[in-house]
Structure 1
Amino acid sequence: MSQRVAVVTGSNKGIGFGIVAARNEELGLRAMKQLQATNPTARHKLRFHQLDITNVESIKRFADHIQRTHGGLDVLVNNAAIAFKNADPTPFGEQAEITIRTNFFGTMNVCNALFPLLRPHARVVNVSSRAGMLESIRNLEIRRLLASSDTTVQLIADIVNDFIIKAKQNLHQQTGYPKTAYGMSKIALTAATFIQQRLFNNQPDNDIVVNSMCPAADTPVYLATLPPYVKSPRGEFVAERNILKWKC
């Protein structure tokens, strides 16, 4: 069996570091050296590659590198994300635009570039959050659209773009959106996860599984190493290895 290839975005610090591509090359290389020092057996298995998920050219270069160097991909952990601190003075409308652009559109662009490289039995983990539970949206029509089995990624994109517009007008809470941009971005990511799995279900022989999760304990590694033809979890929202009810 050929060596399995795993990609963890945003792995130079925090959750991504704990799981093991980074946007900051200096931090990424430093993180790789630290991991190599603390885990000598993984020394020859770790590789760093610069990746900025907000830059489509960076994503394309990375996808080309994976294709050229490894010929395919077995595990993708979409961990790279941004969250503004509560005390950040940046206007909320700008926070909303930056957060959605990174956490949702950036991740979708990574998926669009790397999904064609996924090999049979590949596992995809979208790092979401309990801050992105569907119930935090008070607008019942938006909630219904996001939870519908007919929802598309384009529809989710339309909704988050509307959230950005409302956030810049300071009308996001008045129109039923959550008060946090981070939470809205994670709602969108989890909703997209269900769609991704539904599409992969049309190719059952490939046995590709996509789950979203709240980053706790060993859940990311657990989901990334699910055995072949696992029945569950498959297209779910998971925390502490348990499936959580995301849709209301």
Structure 2
Amino acid sequence: MSASKVAVVTGANKGVGYGIVEGLCKKFDGTIYLTARSENRGKAALAKLKELGFSPLFHQLDITDQESVDRFKEYIKSRHDGLDLLVNNAAIKYIHQLDTEHNSSANATELAVEEAEKTLEVNYYGTLRVCQALFPLLRNNARVVNISSASGRLCNIPSADLKAKFNDPNLTFEGVNKLMEKFIKDTKENRAEQEGWGTAYIASKVGLTALTFIQQRIFDKEVPNRNISINAVHPGFVDTDMSEHKGNLTVEQGARAPLYTALEANLKGKYIWFDSKVVDWAASPSP
């Protein structure tokens, strides 16, 4: 059983996740796991890194599949008996194609529900699933980085009532789950806009960021305390498939704030901007 430090990055076969793995290969002294839903794409990314002289390992991980998550948990537990760094990067920005020729309000609602369910299943529930499985394996002084977004800033939620609920210092896991369930319900009832939610992507990333703060509060109360830190990071507008290659940052630049948070920063329960500065999650950006 390996006693070296262990790092895991989800959704790492391309984009910011790939950039984070490459950065860890240069700076992290330990075993690095590049994980991806697709075994073929994951191994192809691994081959690219090996051509650069790096030697991370690959393991298949579909964060929407409980069996896949459980297999990975048991693998890490049996092979390493612990984990020192977890970067929850896997995410989607689901875009449906509306058939304008056959468009109807019913069809539009159906597509909106599909977008809401698929987006939250990966960005919120999938990440939560991984955390629930791997958090018991975190070693003392381990770090967790949840890759959020500028869309994950609370000001993107139009409703003052929803903002207050997300920003409640007593908000619990169950409370965030109920808010996510409400978003799905409101979408199904064609009330999401009226209720002041914003887009599915915004709801998923605000939910993830709120979850991050709750997780840190729970870690802080652990007895004995393992000194776990967890932070949410906005990597910036990066030139990836997620941004439809409209981003102004390179993958390497997008990986900088996550890597800083994972390896250097002495922070707990913060929302960190792409320039590696802590920002107030609940405040609107300065003009």
TM-score (norm 2): 0.80
2:260 to 214, 222, 236: 222
**Cα-to-partner distance string for 1:198-243 (whole Å, 9 max, x where unaligned):** 111113741110000101330111111136xx3xx21010011101
Alignment of 1:50-199 (within 5 A): 50-85=60-95, 88-89=97-98, 91-178=111-198, 180-199=199-218
**Cα-to-partner distance string for 1:6-29 (whole Å, 9 max, x where unaligned):** 000000011101110100000000
Show the counterpart of 1:24: 38
Alpha-carbon distance between aligned partners in 2 of 1:135 and 1:214, rounded to the nearest angstrom: 14
Structure 2 stretches of 5 or more lacking a match?
A: 22-34, 99-109, 237-252
Show the counterpart of 1:238: 272
Show the counterpart of 1:247: 282
Farther-moved stretch of structure 1 (27-36 vs 87-96): 87-96
RMSD across aligned C-alpha pairs, in angstroms?
A: 1.6
Task: Tell me how far 1:111 sits from its aligned partner.
Answer: 0.1
Task: Tell me how far 1:143 sits from its aligned partner.
Answer: 1.3
Alpha-carbon distance between aligned partners in 1 of 2:12 and 2:97, rounded to the nearest angstrom: 24
Alpha-carbon distance between aligned partners in 2 of 1:97 and 1:205, rounded to the nearest angstrom: 36
- Indicate yes or no: 2:59 matched with 1:49: yes
Task: Tell me how far 1:145 sits from its aligned partner.
Answer: 1.4
Farther-moved stretch of structure 1 (118-127 vs 166-175): 166-175
Task: Tell me how far 1:247 sits from its aligned partner.
Answer: 1.4
SS at match of 2:64: coil
Is contact 2:142–2:228 with CA below 8 Å preserved after alignment? yes
**Cα-to-partner distance string for 1:72-117 (whole Å, 9 max, x where unaligned):** 00000000011123x6338111100110111101100100000000
Is contact 2:92–2:123 with CA below 8 Å preserved after alignment? yes
Is contact 1:123–1:226 with CA below 8 Å preserved after alignment? no
Alpha-carbon distance between aligned partners in 2 of 1:215 and 1:24, rounded to the nearest angstrom: 23
TM-score (norm 1): 0.92
Amino acid at match of 1:3: S
- Indicate yes or no: 2:48 matched with 1:34: yes
SS at match of 2:11: coil
Amino acid at match of 2:48: Q
Is contact 1:74–1:123 with CA below 8 Å preserved after alignment? yes
Alpha-carbon distance between aligned partners in 2 of 1:88 and 1:82, rounded to the nearest angstrom: 15
Task: Tell me how far 1:170 sits from its aligned partner.
Answer: 2.1
Farther-moved stretch of structure 1 (214-223 vs 28-37): 214-223
| Rg comparison, structure with higher value | 2
Alpha-carbon distance between aligned partners in 2 of 1:88 and 1:19, rounded to the nearest angstrom: 31
